[in-house]
Structure 1
Amino acid sequence: MTDSADKNIKHCEVCEKSSLLKWKCTDCQLSMCLLCTENIHTKFKLAETHKIISFTDSSIRLNPNHCHIHRNQLCCIFCQSCEQLVCPACLSENHSQHNLTEVEDIVKKSKTRIKSLEEHIQNDVQPLCQETLTKISKLQSEEHYRFRSIISLIKRQEEILSVQIERHKEFLLTKVQLQETKIKDTLLQKKKTFMTNIDKMRQMKMFIDNTLQEPDDVNIDYLHRETDEIMKWLSTERSSLSEQINLPMLPIFESTNLNKKVVSKMFGFQNSSLFITFDKSLLSSLSSITRVKISKYSETIYLWMGCNADQKIEKYCILPDVKLEQEISEKKVYDMSITSSGDLLFTCSNDTCLYKTTKDGTSKLRSFAPLFPMAVNVNLEGEIHISLYEHGANKRHSRIVTIDSRDRKEITHYENGHNKECFVCVTRIADDSDSIYFVDALPETLEGRIVAISKTDGKLKWAFDGQLEKRYPFTPSDFVKTQADSFIVADIWNNLLYILGKNGAVFQMIDTTKIGLTRPCCVDIDDTDLLWVALLPTGKHSKTTNIHALRYDLILSHCH
């Protein structure tokens, strides 16, 4: 029955006589006068459990709900402990000690909440949705225009290059044709000269033949003069015939190997098709970050950050809550790596030892004296790869060694030498089943390259020294191997992130200034594929450092 129907009730629905309606039973759904409420309704079965409300409050009218356990019973009260409607039978059996509330109170609260939600939707959510839709429409329009512009630029560049290539082709053809004409003219002149000489020789031969056939009729004086002329001509022509015919040289055409790098340099290249969104950002108390590593124990994720200048390593719990878990002081950290158990291995500047940090503290794992360890990487098999250098003004690596993390004994090593790749300064290391990958850089400027060598013989497989010409040389400050067997490389001074394939091919090149990041110095990836990027502070006296977690979606449709 609706609220309007309630207002149309004129008489008591029990005695059907009195028009002085006073009460309503929400369980029986009856409007009653005072006498029927006190004398008749009290005799109803379970009437003591029914809810009687003033008729003036009857605007709250509820449809009866049958108990899903006791089908013949109507629910009469709401159990807040169980968050469900219960009937009198359920109430006596299981809910007598629970927190109970009248159904009307729950309805009123629900209506209040719904009204509040309605206001929130109307005042906040709907405007926000509309604003977002407007932004999306604007972005769609802008992106459509941008894509059309890019396509137009690419086609225009093709036209420009086609015209330039056609012009250069015509220039080369004209040059060749001019040389061809010059050579033809030279040969023709030579041919005419020789034809004239041949005619003269025929005349001389006729004179000689006539003289020999009729010697008595020859004028001796004439014969003597002609003979001298013939001798002189023959001696001159014999020397000219022995000389080589000097001709103008044809231009040599050397075709260029049109590899991807050359074509990209001429035509242009796609800067990035990587979709990046910020997931979270943290502010570190370290003045700078030398190295960053992510570890995981159970469902807890930890962020390790090391600062060489502050001589400190900090371990933060970042999931589920951000808090400082551990701090290591008096260590000028250079490189770090995480073991399969979540412990930290690290090297320090001008220190001959490799260190290990667990939750119980830090200890020396092994000394490499008189050599100094720099880059360190531990793989899932427990093999530790370390680059070593000799002490001196010019750091030159004598070897990269692999040791077993269990007994700390050397398994193998890779040295500079004949048919081997020369290491200048190995600052970072990674590996897979058949290769070792490392950053090989000059320690003073960080100018360097990414190198892959074979685990079998240490020979070079490939090297990457940057893409095209940039403001600064390629400066790989850090790199990380992804789960997809690609590499993300931080090029600190060019504000770039490279994504390389396992064979060294460039998948993507991202200008970090386009997403508001400058000087990416350290990178790592966690189990959820979040890319953590630490930035080199731009201020000279900075006391804090930003580190950002980025969600990225790599598009590999153009990878080779």
Structure 2
Amino acid sequence: MAEQDEKKYQYLGAQEHINLPSHKLQTISCISHPTYDLILFCRDCNDLICSKCLTNSHQRHSMCDIDVIHSEKLKVLSNQGDKINKQYLPFVSSEKSKFKEMLSLHTISYESEREKITEKDGKLKDEISKWTSLLLREKEKDYLMAKEYIDKNISLLEEKMKELKSSATLTEEYRKNNNIKNVCHISDGVQNYVEEFVIERHPLPFLTLTFKEESDNACELQNMFGKLEPGFLRNAEHAEFVSEKLSYTTNLNLVGKVSTGENTIWIKNTKKAILQEIKLENEIYIEEEVKDIQIRDMVALKSGELLLILVNNPTIKIRKKGEKKMENFFNFNKSWLYANVFPTTVHVLNNNRVVVGTTEVKEQPGREIITGQVVVLTENGKNIRITSNTNRDIIVLERPQKGNRRLRSLDNEGNIKWDYTGIEIQKQKQCFDPWDVVTTSHDNIITCDFSNENLHILNSKGNVINCIRLTPLDIYRPVSMAIMKNETLIIGCGSTTDNAKIHKLQIRSKE
């Protein structure tokens, strides 16, 4: 009987217990001691117990009455239910609505572009028909003019042939005539005709209009007809920026880098050799300033520590929270591939691995060979020649001295997934000029174009979602960016004087 009761109640416990009506709790037997009822809740073990359990193994544990835990668990259920109904379901529903809206926009775009292509086809057919008629009329006119000229010359030549045949007939007739008077008369006449006859060639009409077929080259056909090219869906800016932005004035001429930690914001200026920890509230507050430090790149860790790459220094430094002295974090020594290796940029992945972009200077007689690499530092400090960890792709911003500047996506095998070199924008005078790149919580990629003062927003596949002009927002010369936890985009700018701006823009999804 005890075994049957144990099987009967082995799946009964806190879950069934808290689902009972609040006015009366069902009596449930203990699985370990079937003759005893569950009367208490052990907070240390998170389990319902009987009096026998209490005396055996729970004597020093924190206890409460089952009515109390019942009330607490009901409250937890209520809170979680509210969170599901008021937060999660509306969010998922909103995301679903966005995709439905995107489908609607793509459908409208498809029908609109198809109509344009069909309309272009009809117009081209009409133009081709008109052009065909014009060519045929011109060719017919050319033919009729040639025919008229040829017919006229044929008539003249036929008249001459008639005269020549008549003269030839007379000569034959009078060659046998014995009338001297007639022979002399005809002979003199024929002689005068022959002597006055002019042998001339009538010019033949070689000139004519010929039809020259144009090339069937696909590019020429595209230029004539049109082509499909990347564009934006209208009214589909699901990543937009609040027009009400906050702006702050620094004492620097350029905010060369912005890095955000858990509760910190760091900015730097390499030429002035300044590092500042700041707060952005109603005004900008400088919490700490370090001078005489030329920083090439930096990244703030969640722990509050700061990784620093110094100019022309092979060692990555770490500045721990609350300490002014820097320590060595990782050193790229010359023995590695027999080259002088210098870190140039640093980033921390979601799994806390550190990704470092490097420049290798290989010394050879009479010249130096410079190459770029991406290195992942593992937890034990060993460097491995791979471009990414196993969880995330790496987006690399490349600014070569020659060639196009670009964003490049690399997979975990080091293969190139895609390159982005900008898009054609009307009235854009400068080439694509990216200076910094960040990733949002939705894996969208944002890069700031310094020369053209734009923000390019891409999805994880490298396709353009939007391109936003910054000048209407009074943002000029964007140099650096960072994203805070609440999806706030911080943009650091350059200036001709020591008053470079920092701007805060809230990224939000269009509902």
Pairwise TM-score range, normalised by the shorter structure: 0.5 to 0.7
Contact kept? 1:440, 1:448, Cα under 8 Å: yes
Q: Which residue of structure 1 aligns with residue 64 of structure 2? A: 101
Please tell me whether the aligned partners of residues 290 and 305 of structure 1 are also in contact (alpha carbons under 8 angstroms).
yes
The answer for the alignment partner of 1:46 in structure 2 is none
Letter in 1 for 2:158: D
* Structure 1 residues 143 and 405: alpha-carbon distance in aligned structure 2, compared to 1, 3 A threshold: closer
Alpha carbons 2:296, 2:345 under 8 Å: kept: no
Match of residue 359 from structure 2:
384
1:374-523 alignment, distance < 5 Å: 384=359, 401-402=370-371, 438-439=398-399, 450=406, 466-473=422-429, 474-478=431-435, 490-492=448-450, 493=452, 495=454, 497=456, 507-508=463-464, 510-512=466-468
Q: State the shift of 1:157 in Å.
A: 1.2
Opposite residue 101 of structure 1, the aligned amino acid is C
Residue 138 (structure 2) pairs with residue 163 (structure 1)? no
SS at 2:48's partner residue? strand
Q: Report if aligned partners of 1:355, 1:366 keep a CA contact under 8 Å in 2.
A: yes
Counterpart of 1:257 in structure 2 is: 218
> 1:366/1:520 Cα in 2 relative to 1: closer, same or farther (>3 Å)?
farther
- Report the CA distance between 1:93 and its aligned residue: 2.6
Check conservation: 1:475, 1:494, Cα contact below 8 A.
no
The residue aligned with 2:42 is 79
Q: Tell me, in whole angstroms, the C-alpha distance in 2 between the residues paired with 1:292 and 1:472.
A: 27
Q: Deviations over 1:299-328 (max 9, x none)?
A: x9x998654576446799xxxxxxx99987
Matches of 1:224 and 1:139, distance apart in 2: 106
Please list, as runs of the form range in 1=range in 2, the aligned pairs for 1:329-344 lying within 5 A after superposition. Answer: 329-330=291-292
Letter of the structure 1 residue corresponding to residue 115 of structure 2: R
Gap change, CA 1:92 and 1:283, over 3 Å in 2: farther
Aligned residues of 2:257 and 2:481 also touching (Cα < 8 A): no
Cα distance in 1 for residues equivalent to 2:133 and 2:289: 74
Deviation (angstroms), 1:275: 9.2
Q: Is the 8 A contact 1:337 1:345 kept in 2?
A: no
For the 8 Å contact 2:276–2:289, the answer to whether it is kept is yes
Q: Report sequence identity in percent.
A: 11
Which residue is equivalent to 2:379? none
Q: TM-score, normalised by structure 1?
A: 0.49
Aligned equivalents of 2:368, 2:35: Cα separation in 1: 86
CA pair 103-333 structure 1, distance change in 2 beyond 3 A: closer
- Tell me, yes or no, if structure 1 residue 92 matches structure 2 residue 50: no
Q: Match for residue 209 of structure 1?
A: 168
Preserved CA contact (<8 Å) 1:293 1:336: yes
1:199, distance to aligned residue in structure 2 (A): 1.6
Aligned equivalents of 1:495 and 1:400: distance in 2? 34
CA–CA separation in structure 1 for the residues paired with 2:68 and 2:138: 105
- CA–CA distance in 1 between the matches of 2:345 and 2:143? 70
Structure 2 gaps, min length 5: 1-21, 176-182, 279-285, 301-305, 319-325, 335-340, 347-353, 376-385, 389-395, 409-417
Distance 1:200 1:327 in 2: 112
Work out the CA distance in 1 between the residues paired with 2:476 and 2:92: 35
Contact 2:478 / 2:492 at 8 angstroms: preserved in 1?
A: yes
3-state SS of 1:384 partner: strand
- SS of 1:75's partner is coil
Give the Cα separation in 2 of the matches to 1:303 and 1:90.
54
Q: What secondary structure sits across from 1:64 in the alignment?
A: coil
TM-score of the aligned structures, taking structure 2 as reference length: 0.53
Q: How many pairs were matched up? A: 397
Match runs of 1:136-147 below 5 Å: 146-147=105-106
Residue 544 of structure 1 aligns to a residue whose secondary structure is: strand
**In the alignment, which residue of structure 1 is the partner of 2:144?**
185
Q: Please report how far the alpha carbon of residue 472 of structure 1 lies from its aligned counterpart in structure 2 after TM superposition.
A: 0.8
- Are 1:158 and 1:267, in contact at CA under 8 Å, matched by a contact in 2? no
- Separation in 2 of the partners of 1:293 and 1:261? 46
Mapping 1:116-135, distance limit 5 Å: 117=79, 121=82
Q: Is residue 544 of structure 1 aligned with residue 495 of structure 2? A: no
Q: Secondary structure at the match of 2:426?
A: coil
Larger gyration radius, structure 1 or structure 2: 1
Q: What CA distance in whole angstroms lies between the structure 2 residues aligned with 1:89 and 1:68? A: 11
RMSD: 6.4
Q: Which amino acid aligns with 1:253?
A: E
Code of the residue aligned with 1:192 in structure 2: it is: D
The answer to whether residue 109 in structure 2 is matched with residue 150 in structure 1 is yes
Aligned to 2:337: none
2:180 match: none
Partner of 1:151, secondary structure, is: helix
Change (3 A) 1:82 1:115: closer
Distance 1:133 1:487 in 2: 22
8 Å CA contact retained: 2:481, 2:491: no
Classify 1:190/1:365 alpha carbon distance in 2 versus 1 (closer, same or farther; 3 Å): farther
Instruction: Note the residue ranges of structure 1 that are not aligned, 5 or more in a row.
Output: 1-58, 317-323, 348-352, 368-372, 388-397, 407-429, 453-461, 552-560
Q: Is 1:68 equivalent to 2:31 in the alignment?
A: yes
Residue 222 of structure 1 is aligned with which of 185, 189, 198?
189
Alpha-carbon contact 1:491-1:498 (below 8 Å) kept: no
Question: What is the match of residue 246 of structure 1?
Answer: 207
In structure 1, give the amino acid aligned to 2:117.
E
